[in-house]
């Protein structure tokens, strides 16, 4: 058993104004809720050591391992379109970076106590958001969608005060990095061109070694986000708080707050209780991504030489988003429909399916799965005829098409009512539903028979219509 970790902390080598160095605040009685063993192994961590008292103390922030250089990162951001010049890690601390099987990863504790960026908050997290992020981020990973990961959830033995007194918890989050569009905005707003330069070089080296300079970085982020948002759309995922500080420049889904997978499909679906105007509704996500990337582009212009030419190049790079997004969207939805080739009318064919789904209030996940098994309900009869004709035109073998569809249309996603159920049970001391949900949702394509009830859409009284930030 060996808790020694080989850290290599590149962010901590950046200038001091990028962060504030401090250790996590210890908690009263750390207890391990769940450890993600496959992820731990891929980071070359000793699983037994992580489960030991010292390991759990580390995951709770009570023990800073040798080689860690704990810090809270500075960033700014637009929240619901309003500019906030200083945000930063108010309840998270980066322990450091490790070089795992898949490359460099941040190891961060979320809910680890106050930092100089906490402003009004207590720096803590309660059990609900920690368990939600654990399940949903790992489900996203299992669906093949770029995301931060959950290494562990630990209960603190302390209460946090929200709308009620709630049990506290800490999530260990693993990410390619925690650099956000808002990190660039932080330096741009301070006209700190040297800071921007250093951050650009850091991100290029870390995430986009084949890209060069600020324009190369912008183009790479545009491409990564176009892919990411198309992937979200293909599984009915709504992030809920696409503020610029919640957009990772590495192209991972980050900061799971009031996020949700849709049950009944509607393009204007919103879950977040704080998103009153539907700014971050399902179908708004691609446009919001463009808006966020435009803020990112604005930050990079001071690094791009002569101003007029820089603005022109940056604008062109941002304008590439819709086409890249549309291509990624079509690629994903074609596979969902079992199509191999492409036809002019495919976008319209997909659109007409979604129209019927919206009119019927059909469940997003269940409908695509029903299509996979060619057992759509009566209202889809006309559309099914068009779809079969389209398959026939490309000479598709229906059973081969269905095989491909089974790998693009998940059976099981973390449904809101199941997540809420797991959280309520955990608050009452019963973690079994959470563990079951966490085990089930990492097998989205072919769940075990015993997990199949978790795939069912909510019954009428079960549907969760709103999710809360609950930070
Ligand atoms: P988020 O909702 O995770 O995107 O957070 C937005 C900002 O609020 C970030 O700067 C967070 O660090 C900060 N924040 C959220 N919750 C807390 C909390 N409980 N204590 C301190 N800061 C917080
Ligand atoms: Mg955030």
* 285 & 395 share domain: yes
Please report, for residues 64, 327, 360, 378, 409, the alpha-carbon distance to residue 367 in angstroms, rounded to integers and kept in the order given.
48, 23, 11, 12, 9
Quick check: is 317 in a domain?
yes
Q: Can you give the pLDDT at residue 276?
A: 86
Residues 120 and 40 in one domain: yes
**How many whole angstroms from 412 Cα to the centroid of ligand 2?**
27
Is 226 among the domain residues? Answer: yes
Q: Are residues 78 and 20 in the same domain?
A: yes
* Ligand 1 atom nearest to 124, measured from its CA: 19
Give Cβ neighbours of residue 294 (< 8 Å, ≥ 6 apart).
318
Catalytic residues, which ones?
Answer: 245
427 occurs within a structural domain: no
Nearest CA to ligand 1 atom 21: 121
**Residues 287, 147 share a domain:** no
Domains of the chain: total? 2
Please check whether residue 441 is in contact with residue 139, taking contact to mean a CB–CB distance below 8 angstroms.
yes
Q: Of the ligands numbered here, which is closest to the C-alpha atom of 117?
A: 1
The kind and range of the H/E element at 19 are: strand 19-21
244-273 residue pLDDT tens: 999 999 999 999 999 999 999 999 999 888
Same-domain check for residues 75 and 202 = no
In the prediction, which pLDDT does 469 show?
A: 53
Q: Which ligand is nearest to the CA of 259?
A: 1
238 plus 95 within the same structural domain = no
Q: What φ, ψ does residue 275 adopt, rounded to 5°? A: -100, 70
Residues 147 and 206 in one domain: no
Q: How far is the CA of 416 from the centre of ligand 1 (A)?
A: 22
183 and 161 share one domain: no
- Strands (DSSP E) contained in 64-204 are 71-73, 77-79, 82-84, 92-100, 103-110, 125-126, 149-161, 165-175
pLDDT value for 468? 64
Residue 63 lies in a domain: yes
The answer to whether 467 touches 273, Cβ cutoff 8 Å, is: yes
Does one domain contain both 157 and 17? yes
Q: Is 120 domain-assigned?
A: yes
- Point out the domain boundary residue: 357, 375, 409: 409
What is the C-alpha end-to-end distance of the chain, expressed in Å?
Answer: 35
Q: Which atom of ligand 1 is nearest to the CA of 245?
A: 4
Please report whether residue 333 resides in a domain: yes
Q: Ligand 1 pocket: which of 22, 173, 280, 471 to mutate (most atoms <8 Å of CB)?
A: 471
- Separation of alpha carbons 367 and 457, rounded Å: 10
Q: Please write down the HEC assignment for all residues of 166-191.
A: EEEEEEEEEECCCCEHHHHHHHHHCC
Q: Which atom of ligand 1 is nearest to the CA of 75?
A: 10
Contact yes or no for 10/104 (Cβ under 8 A): yes
pLDDT at res. 465 = 79
| Same domain for 164 and 308 | no
For ligand 1, atom 1, name the residue with the nearest CA. 255
Per-residue burial over 40-79, b = 16 or more CB atoms within 10 Å of its CB, e = otherwise = beebebbeebbbeeebbbbbbbbbbbeebbbbbbbbbbbb
pLDDT tens-digit readout, 213-244: 999 999 999 999 999 999 999 999 999 999 99
**Distance separating alpha carbons of residues 222 and 324, to the nearest angstrom:** 8
Could you say which of 147, 175, 203 is where a domain stops? Answer: 175
Using 50 as the pLDDT threshold, list the residues of the chain that sit under it.
none
Same domain, 15 and 63: yes
Does the residue 414 lie in any domain? no
Ligand in nearest proximity to the CA of 88? 1
Cα(234) to centroid(ligand 2), Å? 23
- Residue 272 has what pLDDT? 87
Give the ligand 1 atom nearest the CA of 246: 4
Domain assignment present for residue 310? The answer is yes
| Closest by Cα among 136, 132, 90, 83 to 115 | 90
What's the maximum distance between 2 C-alpha atoms anywhere in the chain? 66
pTM passes above 0.85: yes
Tell me which residues have their CB closer than 6 angstroms to ligand 1. Answer: 87-91, 117-118, 121-124, 241, 245-246, 255, 257, 469, 471
Identify the residue whose C-alpha is closest to ligand 1 atom 13.
90
Q: Give the Å distance between the CA of 245 and the centre of ligand 2.
A: 6
pLDDT at 169: 98
- Closest by Cα among 390, 395, 402, 379 to 346: 390
Q: Pick from 393, 409, 425: which residue ends a domain?
A: 409
Which residue range is the domain that position 212 belongs to? 179-409
Separation of 230 CA from ligand 2 center, angstroms?
21
Nearest CA to ligand 1 atom 6: 87
| Cβ contact 314:297 at 8 Å | yes
Whether 211 and 194 map to the same domain: the answer is yes
């Amino acid at each position: 058993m060996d808790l020694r970790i080989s850290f290599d902390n590149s962010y901590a080598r950046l200038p001091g104004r990028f962060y504030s160095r401090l250790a996590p605040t210890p908690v009263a009685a750390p207890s391990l809720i769940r450890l993600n063993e496959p992820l731990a192994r891929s980071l070359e961590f000793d699983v037994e050591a992580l489960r030991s008292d010292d390991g759990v103390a580390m995951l709770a922030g009570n023990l800073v391992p040798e080689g860690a250089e704990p810090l809270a990162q500075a960033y700014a951001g637009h929240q619901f379109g309003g500019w906030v010049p200083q945000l930063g890690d108010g309840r998270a601390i980066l322990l450091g970076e490790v070089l795992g099987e898949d490359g460099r990863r941040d190891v961060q504790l979320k809910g680890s106590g106050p930092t100089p960026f906490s402003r009004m908050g207590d720096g803590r997290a309660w059990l609900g958001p920690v368990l939600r992020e654990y399940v949903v981020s790992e489900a996203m990973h299992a669906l093949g969608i770029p995301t931060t990961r959950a290494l562990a959830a630990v209960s603190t033995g302390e209460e946090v005060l929200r709308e009620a007194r709630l049990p506290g918890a800490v999530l260990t989050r693993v990410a390619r990095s925690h650099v956000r569009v808002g990190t660039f905005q932080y330096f741009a707003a301070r006209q700190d061109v040297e800071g921007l330069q250093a951050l650009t070089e850091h991100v290029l080296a870390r995430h986009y070694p084949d890209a060069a300079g600020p324009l190369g970085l912008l183009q790479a982020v545009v491409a990564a986000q176009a892919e990411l948002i198309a992937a979200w759309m293909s599984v009915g995922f709504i992030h809920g708080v696409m503020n610029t500080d919640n957009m990772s420049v590495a192209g991972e889904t980050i900061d799971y707050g009031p996020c949700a997978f849709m049950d009944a499909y509607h393009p204007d679906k919103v879950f977040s209780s704080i998103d009153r105007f539907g700014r971050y509704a399902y179908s708004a996500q691609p446009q919001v991504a463009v808006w966020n990337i435009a803020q990112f582009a604005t930050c990079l212009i001071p690094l791009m030489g002569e101003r007029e030419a820089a603005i022109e190049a940056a604008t062109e790079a941002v304008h590439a988003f819709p086409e890249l997004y549309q291509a990624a969207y079509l690629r994903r939805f074609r596979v969902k429909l079992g199509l191999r080739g492409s036809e002019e009318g495919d976008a319209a064919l997909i659109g007409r399916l979604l129209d019927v789904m919206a009119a019927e209030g059909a469940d997003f996940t269940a409908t695509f799965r029903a299509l996979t098994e060619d057992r759509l309900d009566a209202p889809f009869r006309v559309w099914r005829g068009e779809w079969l004709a389209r398959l026939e035109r490309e000479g598709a073998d229906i059973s081969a098409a269905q095989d491909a569809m089974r790998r693009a249309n998940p059976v099981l996603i973390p449904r809101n009512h199941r997540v809420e159920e797991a959280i309520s049970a955990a608050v009452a001391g019963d973690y079994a539903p959470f563990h079951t949900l966490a085990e089930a949702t990492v097998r989205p394509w072919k769940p075990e028979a015993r997990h199949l009830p978790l795939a069912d859409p909510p019954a009428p009284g079960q549907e969760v219509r709103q999710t809360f930030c609950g930070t």
